[in-house]
Amino acid sequence: MRKARRESRGRRAAALALAGSLIASSRGQGPAVGAAPAENVRLPIEYHENGRVKTQVVAGRAAVGENGIVEATRVRIELMQPTGELEAVATTDRCRYDRQNGTASSDAPVRLERGDLVVSGTGFDWNAAEQTVRIRADAKAVLPGNLRLLPAGRPGAPAKESGRKE
């Protein structure tokens, strides 16, 4: 019982140390060098005008390095609507998050989901300010089953087949 309490206190202390490091780095101060990794971290990145979280990183485990870069595992990057509803999510086994530049990157497999659209691949580079994600390799997109094709002759539609009469 006492061992479980000590372990619980240790995890809480590590989480508080990491949170303090992240808060300090977001205020332009240096992170606490050598802070112990924390478990189950939720890190808001940007907010909507109404104060709700717009983008956040959720990690099973995270630690701040000497350079202020957050090394995270079991990562989920969530993009939220102004109402607080989840709009899109990116998941990966590990990534590096640079709070100062608002970027994240990884060489691990990644999966992006937004509604019925699913994009997966290996490695990614994400930029919060530009709202872009670049899949580095093996990109695959699965489009929604209810996707409608435009009729021939409309802008963006495929060209008509030659020799075909209408």
User: Domains of the chain: which residue ranges?
Assistant: 2-142
* pTM as predicted: 0.66
Return mean pLDDT, the chain. Answer: 77
pLDDT tens track for 24-65: 334 333 335 456 889 999 989 889 999 999 999 999 999 998
What pLDDT, on the 0 to 100 scale, is given for residue 26? 40
The answer, yes or no, to whether residue 125 has pLDDT greater than 90, is yes
pLDDT tens track for 140-154: 998 877 666 666 665
Nearest to 87, CA basis, from 96, 78, 95: 78
What lies within 8 Å, CB to CB, of 59 at 6+ separation is 40, 41, 43, 70, 72, 73, 74, 75, 76
CATH superfamily of 2-142: Lipopolysaccharide (LPS) transport protein A like domain (2.60.450.10)
